[in-house]
């Protein structure tokens, strides 16, 4: 005959079954918790390594564009006003140079405030460096303009312009501004290298650059070299580095370098600057001819809205 379980045996069996189910559930729950924690640690480790190496997150195109609008553009807007005011002073178009220089000083402070509050990613140290350098430049231009406004009362317009060009604050402003511009263009080189591995992410500008070597360089490298040339010369210009780059390429391609027996790019840069042969906008006039296939970030001065 079939033996039936007693009540005690039945309760014991059910209790054992529930304990088994609970143990299995706890096991899989523990596995899930452990898996989640491990995954979280791996994510944190990846973030740390990415941040430390800087390669995946640094110098993204949106960072270059944001920097242009929030830092570089305010600086350039002041620079444009600076050149226009000094031109009017030199040509005798200003009746009150002192007031004009005070306005320049105020404008430099305003643009300083705009650029100072801009957020620059720490993963892109060249952009952080460029921001600091451009801010220093604006501060020096503000001080130079303020000093000039005081001297304007006792000087002719032409003498005042000459004095401003020799002012220690102005000279330091040029130095810092050109250094900031150079850092920004170096950041563009870093970006292009991250997009195209054939473009080097490091470039140390030589004092002398052979024309044959220049011809082999990508555009972002050329622009970096030219920005460094302007920095080395402490040359404040109304044109952009790419405008000078395009004039160098045009000078070489036209055969003028060969005719004049010039063998180095720095010699061509000297000639073009000293003869005022470069204008803002030269790059865009030559872009289709020389740089149709070149890699460039989507920045307004490379792609004007009217084109």
DSSP string covering 50-88, please? HHHH-TTTTT-HHHHHHHIIIIIHHHHHHHHHHHHHHHH
Classify 304 as helix, strand or coil.
coil
CA–CA separation, 83 vs 75, rounded Å? 13
Structure confidence by residue, pLDDT tens digits, 155-198: 888 899 999 999 999 999 999 999 999 999 999 999 999 999 99
In whole angstroms, give the CA distance from residue 222 to residue 182: 12
Query: Has residue 261 got a pLDDT over 80?
Result: yes
Which residue is listed with tokens 């088994």? Answer: 20
- What is the share, in percent, of the chain residues with pLDDT greater than 90? 74
Q: Are 56 and 50 a contacting pair, CB within 8 Å?
A: yes
Question: Which of 228, 240, 237 minimizes the C-alpha distance to 266?
Answer: 228
pLDDT at 33: 43
The percentage of the chain sitting over the pLDDT mark of 70, rounded to a whole number, equals 80
Q: Which residues contact 90 (CB under 8 A, 6 or more apart)?
A: 157, 158, 161
Question: Is 60 exceeded by the pLDDT of residue 40?
Answer: no
The residue extents of the domains of the chain are 59-196, 203-301
What pLDDT band is residue 19 in, cutting at 50, 70 and 90?
low
Which stretch of DSSP H or E encloses residue 34?
Answer: helix 7-53
> DSSP strand E in 136-176: where?
none
Residue 29: exposed, middle, or buried by beta-carbon count in 10 A (0-12, 13-18, 19+)?
exposed
Residue that is written with structure tokens 């032409």 in the block: 158
In angstroms, rounded to a whole number, what is the distance separating the alpha carbons of residues 161 and 146?
13
3-state helix, strand, coil in the chain (%, to 5): 70, 0, 25
Token pair listed for 211: 């024309």
Pull the structure tokens for residue 193: 């290298």
Residues 6+ apart with CB under 8 A from 74: 111, 114, 115
Identify the weakest region by mean pLDDT among 28-32, 130-134, 215-219: 28-32
């Amino acid at each position: 005959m079939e033996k039936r379980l007693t009540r005690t045996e039945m309760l014991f069996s059910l209790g054992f079954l529930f304990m088994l189910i609970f143990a299995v559930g706890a096991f899989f729950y523990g596995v899930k918790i452990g898996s989640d924690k491990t995954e979280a640690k791996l994510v944190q480790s990846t973030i740390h390594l990415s941040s430390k190496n800087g390669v995946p997150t640094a110098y993204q195109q949106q960072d270059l564009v944001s920097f242009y609008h929030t830092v570089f553009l305010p600086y350039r807007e002041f620079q444009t006003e600076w050149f226009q005011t000094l031109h009017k002073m030199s040509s005798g178009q200003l009746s009150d140079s002192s007031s004009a220089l005070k306005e320049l000083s105020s404008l430099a402070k305003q643009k300083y405030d705009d650029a100072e509050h801009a957020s620059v990613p720490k993963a892109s140290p060249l952009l952080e460096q460029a921001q600091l350098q451009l801010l220093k430049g604006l501060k020096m231009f503000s001080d130079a303009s303020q000093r000039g406004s005081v001297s304007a009362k006792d000087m002719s317009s032409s003498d005042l312009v000459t004095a401003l060009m020799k002012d220690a604050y102005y000279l330091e402003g040029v130095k810092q501004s050109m250094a900031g511009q150079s850092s920004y263009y170096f950041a563009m080189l870093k970006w292009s290298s991250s997009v195209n591995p054939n473009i080097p992410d490091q470039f140390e500008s030589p004092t002398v650059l052979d024309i044959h070597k220049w011809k082999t360089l990508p555009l972002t490298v050329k622009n970096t070299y030219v920005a460094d040339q302007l920095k080395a010369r402490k040359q404040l210009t109304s044109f952009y580095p790419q405008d000078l780059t395009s004039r160098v390429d045009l000078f070489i391609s036209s055969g003028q370098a060969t005719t004049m027996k010039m063998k180095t790019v720095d010699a061509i840069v000297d000639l073009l600057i000293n003869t005022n042969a470069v204008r803002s906008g030269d790059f865009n006039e030559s872009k289709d001819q020389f740089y149709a296939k070149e890699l460039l970030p989507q920045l307004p001065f490379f792609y004007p809205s009217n084109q």
